Structure 1
């Protein structure tokens, strides 16, 4: 996701600076090259040698006659993006006022003037984060195009965001944004149909593919709504659902203002009338199944012009049959395209799929994270074809 990206990492004097070694490793693991810049206060929390080890590059601790700020963040500079993580209230205020009295703030001013994207991950005590001046400073630099990675507010502290969240926002800031201004709804994971208050019918879908697609659309610039039976995520607005009926209702509402729907969830095809009390064990049991409405059919009926991307899982292991089934779905709901896969990839990190359209199909092999970006890019071409 960050392959070939040069990240200048500004480290300031928050106790969250102890996280910088892990953050630098995570950025590099995703393909980035990292060079760090540290304030004096940050050096009192984590030694520059540790940061040098983590980045595998010398650390800038002062601005000298080498004009390090220009070499890193100038118009012909090395950096593709300037990431300040962690950013203290002090540094955020200085950046908003164009005060250059540390290597980090000097790099920030230089990056602004040179048009280098800037990402800021604040970390401070919650009362400091709630100070009107700090909030005004955040609003100011956001209005200048800075991407703020929201902190995790807990235990009276505005804690620095998780490394994964920071990396996603760096990728979003520095990469192509073909979905900028688009609202995309993504369904993910399995649904569950209640049998009684403690039992459900469900399937083996893990939701990894749907979440990867939501992440990919976010990185490509979209505003994403994720409909699933899972946790909140920082890269999307989440609609929490459990059953197929709840997922359909949530999608109907979300698609009212959406530019596209990606239906990646493994939605239950059947439901039952749930018992009000727990069904006692030790007896023979017969359940009467009732078919659930097909979500993509219902959404197509409600929104005739909405681009829809479908998913089709099969168990035959036969590509020709997978393509045929996927093409039936393309034709039935006038889908932009359908992603077909063998159900054996459920729960795995790697996947193999077929992108199926009315008159063509092509293979994708790779990680689910890469698949998410591929779906986002294919969706962007759908919008391009409409214009």
Structure 2
């Protein structure tokens, strides 16, 4: 058995406040690292959101180029966007012709109907329209983020234009109606969806099923027993994999933590039986995930609940708990050659005992890896967050939640 201790080589931890000057931002992830993103700001009132959007892109390590239309300058100044992006803003024709540079993805936010219409009909009367024409010509993905009054959005012409965007192989993000308008989605939603899109073109993107959170079982009509799990780590893993281009399906139990971005596929299953049922349904479906991550805290024991409410005031209440079905072996025959990652939480054990128990879980249930935790070390900054134990007996010490996410993404992408 070999053991490795992970040490990150970048300057600041993703959980640290890596802000050294007024224009700095806190780095949250590397999901857009080395990705060149062209942001085009057209003249809708949602242009005021561009400062927040630029800074959100930088939090996920994107390399930005900013272009503004003349109309957008009436709403927000190029100076503001230069401050937010850390880049010179292009507002007019320049001899460098950066609109013809190569980009990994182009986003138009906000995208007025006028801008969309010009693009669809090939009008090229400004640097931003030339940039869109060039992107379409070299098949760079383009994302439009429409923002307009609901009456304008409901106009059949708008519907036709959005259909044309899809037909040419490009994309649009649109929020639900609020206050009679289609407002621009939040910067976090836009950046997470764009990150998933641009990274979905990378090799070895997977369909990932992840169970997370706690499960609860009733003991009468009003009382229940429940494992202690917030779901925070499970959400973090799901978000990380989603932003790195994987197709993620969350089967979530009871969670006090909530996702920080908009995940598209969340199934709620609060009891052990519901979670197993939803897992079996997903495994049998046409989706057929090729990765299973079992991070949920599933009750090992439950009982047949009493009918009604047991009266209060009695001296004691003796209950008899029976073992619940183990989810991992119940899924074995359905998941085929999927990558399978289990989680193990122990208390009052040494590191050697934790690793031994993890290897026993691998041997007994046939999982490929186990993320092993000691309860007393969770939340202790002076202790490792977890250990990654492989079916070959290798052990990696994971210092924090970010390490857990990075190692899982590395495993499933190889």
TM, length-normalised to structure 1: 0.85
C-alpha distance in 1 between matches for 2:374 and 2:52? 36
Kept after mapping to 2: 8 A contact 1:96/1:141: yes
Could you say which residue in structure 1 is the equivalent of 2:39?
9
1:32 matched to 2:33: no
C-alpha distance in 1 between matches for 2:391 and 2:302? 32
Provide closer, same or farther for how the CA distance between residues 87 and 276 of structure 1 changes in structure 2, counting only shifts above 3 A. Answer: farther
CA drift at 1:156: 3.0
C-alpha distance in 2 between matches for 1:6 and 1:253? 39
Kept after mapping to 1: 8 A contact 2:146/2:173: yes
Kept after mapping to 1: 8 A contact 2:359/2:393: no
SS class of match (2:250): strand
Q: Give aligned pairs, total.
A: 374
Could you say which residue in structure 1 is the equivalent of 2:292?
261
Could you say which residue in structure 2 is the equivalent of 1:310?
342
C-alpha distance in 2 between matches for 1:122 and 1:58? 25
C-alpha distance in 2 between matches for 1:115 and 1:371? 35
Trace 1:1-387 onto structure 2 (pairs within 5 A). 1=30, 2-70=32-100, 74-75=101-102, 79-175=103-199, 177-180=202-205, 182-229=206-253, 234-256=262-284, 257=286, 258=288, 259-283=290-314, 284-316=316-348, 318-344=350-376, 352-365=385-398, 368-369=401-402, 371-381=404-414
Deviates more, 1:285-294 or 1:226-235: 226-235
Q: Select the structure that is richer in helix.
A: 1
Kept after mapping to 2: 8 A contact 1:309/1:338: yes
C-alpha distance in 1 between matches for 2:49 and 2:406? 28
C-alpha distance in 1 between matches for 2:58 and 2:262? 21
C-alpha distance in 2 between matches for 1:194 and 1:100? 64
SS class of match (1:190): coil
Provide closer, same or farther for how the CA distance between residues 374 and 194 of structure 1 changes in structure 2, counting only shifts above 3 A. Answer: same
CA drift at 1:302: 4.0
Could you say which residue in structure 2 is the equivalent of 1:384?
none
Could you say which residue in structure 2 is the equivalent of 1:385?
none
C-alpha distance in 1 between matches for 2:397 and 2:144? 34
C-alpha distance in 1 between matches for 2:160 and 2:276? 40
C-alpha distance in 2 between matches for 1:378 and 1:271? 34
What runs of 5+ residues in structure 2 fail to find an aligned partner? 1-29
Provide closer, same or farther for how the CA distance between residues 285 and 368 of structure 1 changes in structure 2, counting only shifts above 3 A. Answer: same
Once the two structures are superposed, residues 70-127 of structure 1 have per-residue CA deviations (whole angstroms, 9 ceiling, x without a partner) of: 2xxx24xxx4432222222332333333333344332222223344343333322334
CA drift at 1:198: 3.9
Deviates more, 1:184-193 or 1:300-309: 300-309
SS class of match (2:363): helix
Deviates more, 1:30-39 or 1:140-149: 140-149
CA drift at 1:356: 1.8
What runs of 5+ residues in structure 1 fail to find an aligned partner? 382-387
Kept after mapping to 2: 8 A contact 1:118/1:173: no
TM, length-normalised to structure 2: 0.80
CA drift at 1:240: 1.3
Kept after mapping to 1: 8 A contact 2:42/2:115: yes
Once the two structures are superposed, residues 214-265 of structure 1 have per-residue CA deviations (whole angstroms, 9 ceiling, x without a partner) of: 2233234332211113678633311111111100000100112322321111
SS class of match (2:229): coil
Could you say which residue in structure 1 is the equivalent of 2:25?
none
C-alpha distance in 2 between matches for 1:280 and 1:97? 73
Provide closer, same or farther for how the CA distance between residues 311 and 95 of structure 1 changes in structure 2, counting only shifts above 3 A. Answer: farther
Kept after mapping to 1: 8 A contact 2:384/2:400: yes
C-alpha distance in 2 between matches for 1:280 and 1:346? 38
